[in-house]
Amino acid sequence: MTEHLPIIIILGPLLGAVLAAFTAWFRPKLSHPLVFVGLAISFAAALKLVFIVADAGAQKYWLGGWGTKQGHGVVGIQITVDHLNTLLLAAVSGIALLTTLYTKRLVDAELARRQRYFYALFSLLVTGLLGITITGDIFNLYVFMEIAALSSYALIAYGRGRAYMAAFNYLIMGTMGACLYLLGVGFVFAKTGTLNIDDVSAIIPELGQSQALFVGFVLILLGAWAKMAFFPFHGWLPNSYAYAPTASTALLAPLATKVSVYAMLRIMVTVYSIDYIIHSPATQSLVLYLSSIAIVAASFFSLTQTNLKKLAAYFVLSEIGYMVGGAWLANKPGLTGAMVHVVADAAMTSALFMAIGCIVYRLGQAQLDDLKGVFFKMPVTMAAFVVTMAALIGVPPTCGFFSKWYLIQGAAQAGVWHFVAALLLSSLVKAIILFRIIEIGYNRVPHPAIEGNPAIPRNEAPLSMLIPTVAMALGLIALGLVTSTLVNTIISKALPAALTP
Amino acid sequence: MEKGFRIVPELPIWQFDVLLLILVVLFAVVALSIQNLMGAAVVFGAYSFMMCLIWAGMGAVDVAFTEAAVGAGVSTVFVVSTLYNTGATMHRRAGGLGFKLFIGVVVTVAGVFLLSALPDFPEWGDTDSPVNATVAPYYILNTITDSHVPNVVTSVLADYRGFDTLLETTVVFIACIAIYSIMRVDKAKFETDEPTIVAAPRYDPGDSLIVRQTSRFMVPFMQLFALYVIAHGHYSPGGGFQGGVILGASLILLAISFDLKFLLRQWSEKTLMLLVAAGVFLYAAVGLACMFMGGDYLDYGFLDPILPGEKDMARSHGILLVEIGVGITVMFSMIAIHINLASNGRFDRGL
């Protein structure tokens, strides 16, 4: 049975979604548990694979039994679980599982009678994201990208009103990204004759200097950047995440962009070798500047926001700058930082949007001015929120500290001081925003402990939302404590051997 | 090569291809610049037909078939049924000179960058090019022994890379339920939102005897052809996607020539949406069956105890099963998407 684990990761949410689409017409209440069970199976398989990969190395699975044929390479589609993606697979399926629990009440409240296909689309989005992460085939990656993209357009458009326009902008940008990616894959295929990632990476060094391969590389990267909302392709993201239903954002924000970053890492590290970047210093320094600009610009915009959801969306943008920059430092600590941060940031963003969702569920909106007294009303939620913000700022022992530490170390080693400055500035801005929220939530109302002031009634979000939120926030600390173990046993083995230490 | 078989490394009739290329560019420019959107939709359909001829000229007959059925056929219908509700006049918002210059520079730089790779590509039809020397020869040499399917495109799509096709079918399924989720509105809500009395159109295009009788006559032939395309995809161009689109188009033709109600009387909303999911389920379930019989996911060869014939015939029959799944999903997705667009999500009346 263990040999089938890689495909079970995909089949769980895929079949869950299809069955949920059936039951939506007979017993609508069954859709949610079906999707939950599918994701639970997927998470169990992904978790088991983390241990298998740590022990025994990469696991490969050939769909339809079409493996390597003598003299032709792999003729079918291969899915691979190796040191680079196993942690992200577990993170994506785990976060999706918690989010499924979490969104039940939110969906009932926000979408009421319109939720017929919500969970089917939800589960299909997770299928797409897991597929992008697990696949070992560059065209198969494109197909999964389409699955994830189409379902996320629908999930955003569930928000109605301004969400339609936001989803449309995302659709245009996402389609352009997918087109560029596919065109790039075409260029790579024309030069290598295969789509299998292992085979392509074996053939590319033999071809030497090739303009077509370079154009393909640039097109694939531009496609991935449009998908992950990297500067200057970021325009679609803040509105999409702010106007989408909170339940959709809780799934999209932590996972969608991170998986695109993973796709970029996979292309950079495995398909093309990292030498490709080291040998073109002009492109490298251009991308590093773009990353710094992305971080700084997103930080400044987050300072001007008055809506909590939009503010968090700008956090997502600045974190993307961290990861792209870290990857393009192309040295050991930088790449380690980027790889750790993909997982850590997925968890942090998930916890952040879960806490915001709890606030929205009780207060009805998320303007900063509405937060007066929120620390007395929802102490547990706000405790989780503060822990999450601490992780985003990079306070030890949370996971945010370790990934940022690797990134800064990498930047210092490469001598890219503007990236160090951008990272520190971003932490500073997040700290300012945290204190601003504490100031509004704690101090702008009379303290109930003082004699004569009315007590503010406690009004926490329902337990089905609160428990995942607290679990995620505690998970950030737990993830921080095991970071060094993970780096030593798994991530360090995903780094290309050619790198200087 | 021996026995008078020679590979010609240039386009078969290059004059013809040059003419088609000119027409493609011309149609693209016209489709973009035309002010009436209905006109643009029709020109765009013509553009797709030109592309279809180019694919056919390059020997990619399956691609040409899909382009004709999907690109020129049903997507034009979707555009038209959307325009039915939005109106066909557009208000162009022209950008300033600076914007135009910026776009011009971006497009030129991107074009030059793409063209810079051209000298690096292998010659057209070169037998030694990487594409013709890595996995493709395996498919051509082994498709008969592996799965008894002479049409290599079908065996690559549904067997060697069957997982991609499962996921593409899922994409069609997602497109359908996404459009349904976005557009579908409650009838009750609609009745309070809009005035119920609508002025009768001066000319009712649905009331044409000739159109009705012609389409009534044509639909059975279309459906028979579509079934042939699905079932005969192993031997000739075609398969689940093309056949499903033609089947869907035959019912859409009925809906347009008679009335949307005519179609909805036979196919309820619930039936349509359940069948959309049923096709994907069939495909995924065939894969699961292979797993329970001891093989890898989608390894149809392991189905030979329950399917007639040896292992290679089991593969062939497995391909037929999944193609039927694809056909079901594609057919009903096309119909459901059309009804959503034409009735503005109300599922009662429309184009």
Residue A74, beta-bridge partner list? A68
Q: Which residue has the higher pLDDT, B307 or A122?
A: A122
CB-CB under 8 Å, A190 with B122 = yes
Residue A184 lies in a domain: no
What is the least distance, in Å, from the CA of B275 to any CA of chain A? 9
Chain A residue with minimum CA distance to B282: A18
CB-based contacts of A438: which residues, under 8 Å, 6+ apart?
A375, A386
Question: Which tokens belong to A25?
Answer: 């017409």
Partners of A69 on chain B (C-beta within 8 Å) are 138
Question: CB-side exposure of B246: number of CA atoms within 13 Å?
Answer: 23
Global ipTM: 0.93
The number of beta carbons lying within 10 Å of the beta carbon of residue A381 is: 26
Distance between CA A221 and CA A263 in Å, rounded?
A: 9
Question: Which tokens belong to B161?
Answer: 């890379």
Predicted local confidence at residue B188, as pLDDT: 52
Distance between CA A472 and CA A460 in Å, rounded?
A: 17
Partners of A111 on chain B (C-beta within 8 Å) are none
Q: By residue range, what is the domain housing residue B192? A: 151-351
What secondary structure letter does DSSP report for A160?
A: -
Q: Which residue has the higher pLDDT, A452 or B184?
A: B184
A211 interface with B at CB cutoff 8 Å: yes
Distance between CA A319 and CA A392 in Å, rounded?
A: 9
- Which of A127, A136, A113 has the alpha carbon at shortest distance from A62? A136
Partners of A62 on chain B (C-beta within 8 Å) are 296
CB-CB under 8 Å, B182 with A157 = yes
Distance between CA A400 and CA A351 in Å, rounded?
A: 12
| In contact, B234 and B149? CB cutoff 8 Å | yes
CB-based contacts of B266: which residues, under 8 Å, 6+ apart?
none
- CA–CA distance from A434 to each of A313, A320, A409, A439, A440 (Å)? 15, 20, 25, 9, 10
Predicted local confidence at residue A373, as pLDDT: 83
Distance between CA B337 and CA A44 in Å, rounded?
A: 36
Into how many domains does chain B fold? 1
Please report where in the chains the tokens 């015939």 appear, as a residue. B313
Distance between CA A342 and CA A483 in Å, rounded?
A: 13
Residue B139 lies in a domain: no
CB-CB under 8 Å, B301 with A143 = no
Please report where in the chains the tokens 């190395």 appear, as a residue. A57
What is the least distance, in Å, from the CA of B117 to any CA of chain A? 4
Q: For residue A232, which amino acid is it?
A: P
C-alpha B142, offset from chain centre: 28
Of B117, B167, B186, the CB nearest to A212: B117
Q: Which of residues 358-377 of A touch B (CB under 8 A)?
A: none
Distance between CA A22 and CA A43 in Å, rounded?
A: 23
Average pLDDT rounded to a whole number, residues A135-162: 92
CB-CB under 8 Å, B139 with A215 = no
Distance between CA A478 and CA A97 in Å, rounded?
A: 18
Partners of A194 on chain B (C-beta within 8 Å) are 130, 134-135
A191-237 confidence digits (pLDDT tens): 898 899 999 988 888 887 888 898 999 999 999 999 988 888 888 89
| In contact, A14 and A45? CB cutoff 8 Å | no
CB-CB under 8 Å, B177 with A154 = yes
Q: Residue A409 in 3-state DSSP? A: helix
CB-CB under 8 Å, B129 with A64 = no
Q: Residue A358 in 3-state DSSP? A: helix
A189 interface with B at CB cutoff 8 Å: yes
Distance between CA A467 and CA A479 in Å, rounded?
A: 18
Residue B54 lies in a domain: no
Distance between CA B75 and CA B347 in Å, rounded?
A: 20
CB-CB under 8 Å, B160 with A211 = no
Predicted local confidence at residue B2, as pLDDT: 42
A383-431 confidence digits (pLDDT tens): 999 999 999 998 888 898 999 999 999 999 988 899 999 999 999 999 9
Residue B125 lies in a domain: no
Question: Which tokens belong to B11?
Answer: 């386009």
CB-CB under 8 Å, B298 with A72 = no
Partners of B114 on chain A (C-beta within 8 Å) are 183, 215
Predicted local confidence at residue B247, as pLDDT: 94
| In contact, B181 and A121? CB cutoff 8 Å | yes
Phi first, then psi: give them for residue B244, nearest 5 degrees. Answer: -60, -40
Phi first, then psi: give them for residue A274, nearest 5 degrees. Answer: -70, -20
Angle of CA points B276, B305, B288, to nearest 5°: 35
Question: Which tokens belong to B227?
Answer: 């079934």
Partners of B273 on chain A (C-beta within 8 Å) are 21, 25
Q: Residue A468 in 3-state DSSP? A: helix
Distance between CA B166 and CA B168 in Å, rounded?
A: 6
Residue A362 lies in a domain: yes
Into how many domains does chain A fold? 1
Chain B residue with minimum CA distance to A160: B182
Distance between CA B173 and CA A15 in Å, rounded?
A: 13
C-alpha A188, offset from chain centre: 26
Residue A313 lies in a domain: yes
Predicted local confidence at residue A258, as pLDDT: 92
Distance between CA A358 and CA A384 in Å, rounded?
A: 11
| In contact, A375 and A382? CB cutoff 8 Å | yes
From first CA to last CA, the distance across chain B in angstroms is 57
Average pLDDT rounded to a whole number, residues A352-367: 88
Residue A196, beta-bridge partner list? A137
CB-CB under 8 Å, A118 with B181 = yes
Buried b vs exposed e over B151-188: b needs ≥16 C-beta within 10 Å?
A: bbbbbbbbbbbbbbbbbbbbbbbbbbbbbbbbbbeeee
Partners of B281 on chain A (C-beta within 8 Å) are 18-19, 22
CB-based contacts of A449: which residues, under 8 Å, 6+ apart?
none
C-alpha A425, offset from chain centre: 22
Residue A36 lies in a domain: no
Mean pLDDT of chain A: 90
Mutate which of B163, B179, B184 to disrupt the A interface (most A C-beta within 10 Å)?
B163
C-alpha A161, offset from chain centre: 26
Of A64, A117, A212, the CB nearest to B162: A64
pLDDT > 70: what percent of chain A?
A: 99
Question: Which tokens belong to A336?
Answer: 């380690």
Chain A residue with minimum CA distance to B165: A143
| In contact, A24 and A116? CB cutoff 8 Å | yes
Residue A385 lies in a domain: yes
Distance between CA A160 and CA A113 in Å, rounded?
A: 14
Q: How many helices (H) and strands (E) does chain A have?
A: 20, 4
Residue B257 parent element (H or E): helix B240-257
Q: Residue A189 in 3-state DSSP? A: helix
Distance between CA A226 and CA A178 in Å, rounded?
A: 8
Distance between CA A27 and CA B278 in Å, rounded?
A: 17
Question: Which tokens belong to A207?
Answer: 């071809």
Q: Residue A456 in 3-state DSSP? A: coil
Predicted local confidence at residue B1, as pLDDT: 38
Of B117, B177, B284, the CB nearest to A215: B117
Q: Residue B238 in 3-state DSSP? A: coil
Whether A34 shows a pLDDT value over 90: the answer reads: yes
What is the least distance, in Å, from the CA of B180 to any CA of chain A? 9
Residue B42 lies in a domain: no
| In contact, B158 and A133? CB cutoff 8 Å | no
What is the least distance, in Å, from the CA of B217 to any CA of chain A? 35
Q: For residue B82, which amino acid is it?
A: T
A273-299 confidence digits (pLDDT tens): 887 777 788 888 999 999 999 999 999
| In contact, A111 and A118? CB cutoff 8 Å | yes
Please report where in the chains the tokens 């949307």 appear, as a residue. B260
Residue A33 lies in a domain: no
pLDDT band with cut points at 50, 70 and 90 for residue A57: confident
Whether A472 shows a pLDDT value over 90: the answer reads: yes
Predicted confidence pLDDT, tens digits, chain B (351 residues): 344 444 555 556 778 888 999 999 999 999 988 888 899 999 999 999 999 999 888 888 899 999 999 988 899 999 998 888 888 787 777 778 888 899 999 999 999 999 998 888 888 777 788 888 888 889 988 888 888 888 889 999 989 999 999 999 999 999 999 999 988 886 655 554 554 445 555 556 556 788 888 888 999 999 999 999 998 888 888 888 999 999 999 999 988 888 788 888 888 889 999 999 999 999 999 999 999 988 889 998 888 888 888 888 888 999 999 999 999 999 999 999 999 998 888 877 777
A11 interface with B at CB cutoff 8 Å: yes
CB-CB under 8 Å, A63 with B175 = no
Of B138, B270, B300, the CB nearest to A69: B138
Distance between CA A155 and CA A248 in Å, rounded?
A: 6
Of B120, B270, B284, the CB nearest to A18: B284
CB-CB under 8 Å, A190 with B121 = yes
- Which of A168, A103, A137, A119 has the alpha carbon at shortest distance from A18? A119
A310-356 confidence digits (pLDDT tens): 999 999 999 999 999 999 988 889 999 999 999 999 999 999 999 99
Strand A78-81 and strand A73-74: pairing?
unpaired
Q: By residue range, what is the domain housing residue A388? A: 274-496
CB-CB under 8 Å, A64 with B297 = yes
| Residue A488, Cβ density class (10 Å: 0-12 exposed, 13-18 middle, ≥19 buried) | exposed
